[in-house]
Amino acid sequence: MEAQLEQIREQQKETWNRFSPGWRKWDDFTMDWLRPMGDEIIRALQLRSTDVVLDIAAGTGEPGLSIARIVKDGHVVITDLAEGMLEVARDNAARRGIRNYETVACDVCELPFADNTFDAVSCRMGFMFFPDMQLAAQEMQRVLKPGGRLAAAVWGTPEQNPWVTMIMGTINKNLQLPAPPPGAPGMFRCGTPGMLADILGQAGLVSIVEKEVTGKLRAGSPDNYWLFMNEVAAPVVAAMSKADGSTREKIRREVFELVAQKYPDHHAAIDFGARIVCGQKPQA
């Protein structure tokens, strides 16, 4: 991997390890919110009880732990770049009595598994952050068995995701942050319809299907939404660290005004849109 991409990877590893306590605190809330994407991935994989499955960029353990309940005579390998996130995954598994799994801290672009190892590969909300998405897709394809299926979820376009754009747009308006370079890892990097499907196709997968999933981040209140985004959303925290006290309060006030305008019921149930893409490794 190029030195620049390695630097991005190490920065991401440090960030996700630093944010693992926030993800632990909000884990039940976050996993409930993201469940529709995990459920769609599971449907697309067409799992059998004996399957051996790789869950990549699983963070605190999903959808890998839900998959482990389905492949009760099989096994799930749950991976993430950040060991701090995998600690939460292991605690979640212990609490739920799940034993047919293991965790491996590793880089998706250098998977430590032999060719043709897994019956299925899942990846929920990871692709858009991989420094080299094509290399990641090639690695996933490499470790899949012939005939195995890969399913991944990514965020859709900014317009579909005001849960992010309302707060980040307000921050950018007040702080004039520099724009990231084109193609840099980021939330909406794979939002364009067909983009991830093309990446999977170039990696050698076939029978590729893309589906849109929409729903709401049900924060419960503007205060809860603000707190969640400032404890879990790394881009928000990084940007807000550059603001002084008065600017922070101005951003907070303007975000609350936006939420009230767009969602006047005061429950802060804010729209999201995602894409689930599934492909199959050709039979040998």
Give the type of residue at 259. V
Q: Give the pLDDT of residue 186.
A: 87
Q: Give the pLDDT of residue 265.
A: 85
Contact 219, 272 (CB under 8 A): no
Q: Name the stretches of the chain with pLDDT < 50.
A: none
Q: Give the pLDDT of residue 95.
A: 96
Contact 77, 105 (CB under 8 A): no
Encoded tokens for 72: 């009760």
SS3 155: strand
Q: Is the peptide bond before 182 cis (omega within 30 degrees of 0)?
A: no
Q: Is the pTM of this model over 0.75?
A: yes
Q: Give the pLDDT of residue 23.
A: 72
* 105 membership: H or E segment, kind and range: strand 101-105
Q: Give the pLDDT of residue 185.
A: 87
Q: Give the pLDDT of residue 10.
A: 64
Q: Give the pLDDT of residue 9.
A: 62
Distances in Å between the alpha carbon of 66 and those of 16, 101, 217, 225? 22, 11, 21, 26
Instruction: Report the relative pairing of strands 269-280 and 206-218 from DSSP bridges.
Output: antiparallel
Q: Give the pLDDT of residue 7.
A: 67
Q: Give the pLDDT of residue 16.
A: 59
